[in-house]
Amino acid sequence: MTSDRYDSPLAPDRPLVLVHGFLGSPADWDPLLRECNRESGGVRGECIVVDLLDVARRADATSGLVGLAKRIIEDLGRDKRTSRGFDLLGYSLGGRIALEIALLSSEFVGSRNAHPARLILASTHLGIDDSSERATRRATDDRLAERLAMLGDITDADSRRRFAESFLDDWYRQGLFATLHGQDGFAILAHRRRDELAAVGAGSIWSSIVSSCSPGRATPHWERLETLASSCLLIVGERDARYLAVANRARAMGVRTEVVLDTGHAVHLEHPPRVARIVNQFRFEQDRSPLRDIRSRERAPL
């Protein structure tokens, strides 16, 4: 895990743990953390940035969401910075892992007399209820895993980069990433993704993660979410239709939601200033304001 700091006049005395998404890396949080630092000042607050590839190497990438969450909790338990607990921010797959951490960490909190986590989920699904849809998703993710496993078998570095680039071209062609393509920094992001995915062993680990952590295999947590509703925030992009539906369902259960206009799935990369403000307000405000949508249409580079 890596560490960064940002300042806020109302920063809590516990760190924010950030968990990136599928194919991501700790560097994905850099734009958001810069914005947190830019707009805040005063008391210093700390961030602990999780590297999922590193966690999966040590936890066994086939252990699924619960196995990865348990390994992260073990790491946090050895970290003196979490003596008074921690808050969580996860994006997509990272949000699903963060939710597992929140559900599993009651023993950690109780043993250290720490504050329960505030949970922030960005573009995160809470689980698939329908059995046929779950079966379809399992099959889809297993096909994706097979392709990533092929990358793991390539020994030549240039060939791995070409394969990784082809894979990422297909991945980011999905509609939920359409607005991400319009960002000035998308080409830089894509090149970084290619190099990270082409690294030795990365394809094999992501292959295991995408299969074992498939929403078609994971336990839906809609009912258990109600127990976390008062300390949970869900952030989604206006143009991310599937996750907008998730937000509507979560809102009906009492979960605070924020909809960032003119963004798709990768909200933290498309609008770092707005997401940083939402995160700070949720963690630092004394009296939480009513549910509301974020109505900004400003653009920010990655």
pLDDT tens for residues 254-273?
999 999 999 999 999 999 99
User: Angle CA(153)–CA(158)–CA(159) in degrees, nearest 5?
Assistant: 40
Query: How is the chain split into domains, by residue range?
Result: 2-128+219-284, 131-212
CA–centroid distance for 132 within its chain: 26
Contacts of 37 (CB under 8 A, 6+ apart): 5, 6, 7
Asked if pLDDT for residue 291 goes beyond 90, the answer is: no
**What is the structure's pLDDT at 68?**
97
Model pLDDT for residues 274-286, shown as the tens digit of each residue: 999 999 889 876 3
Contacts of 54 (CB under 8 A, 6+ apart): 1
Q: What distance in Å separates the CA atoms of residue 26 and residue 3, rounded to the nearest whole number?
A: 10
**What is the structure's pLDDT at 240?**
96
**What is the structure's pLDDT at 14?**
83
Model pLDDT for residues 85-105, shown as the tens digit of each residue: 899 999 999 999 999 999 998
Q: Under a CB-based contact definition with an 8 Å cutoff, are residues 160 and 132 in contact?
A: no
Q: Which of 284, 286, 276, 236 is nearest to 256 (CA)?
A: 236
Mean pLDDT of the region 126-130: 95
**What is the structure's pLDDT at 297?**
39
Q: How are beta strands 232-237 and 87-91 bridged, if at all?
A: unpaired
Contacts of 123 (CB under 8 A, 6+ apart): 21, 91, 92, 95, 235, 236, 237, 240, 243, 265, 266, 267
Asked if pLDDT for residue 7 goes beyond 70, the answer is: no
**What is the structure's pLDDT at 36?**
82
- Residue 45 burial (CB count, 10 A): 24
The model carries a pTM of 0.90
Q: How confident is the model at residue 42 (pLDDT cuts 50, 70, 90)?
A: very low
Which segment of 14-28, 187-201, 215-229, 236-250 scores lowest on mean pLDDT?
215-229
Q: How confident is the model at residue 4 (pLDDT cuts 50, 70, 90)?
A: low
Asked if pLDDT for residue 116 goes beyond 80, the answer is: no
Asked if pLDDT for residue 110 goes beyond 70, the answer is: no
Q: How confident is the model at residue 61 (pLDDT cuts 50, 70, 90)?
A: confident
Which segment of 25-34, 195-204, 292-301 scores lowest on mean pLDDT?
292-301
Q: Under a CB-based contact definition with an 8 Å cutoff, are residues 48 and 120 in contact?
A: no
Q: What distance in Å separates the CA atoms of residue 76 and residue 70, rounded to the nearest whole number?
A: 10
Q: How confident is the model at residue 41 (pLDDT cuts 50, 70, 90)?
A: low
* Domain 2-128+219-284: assigned CATH number: 3.40.50.1820
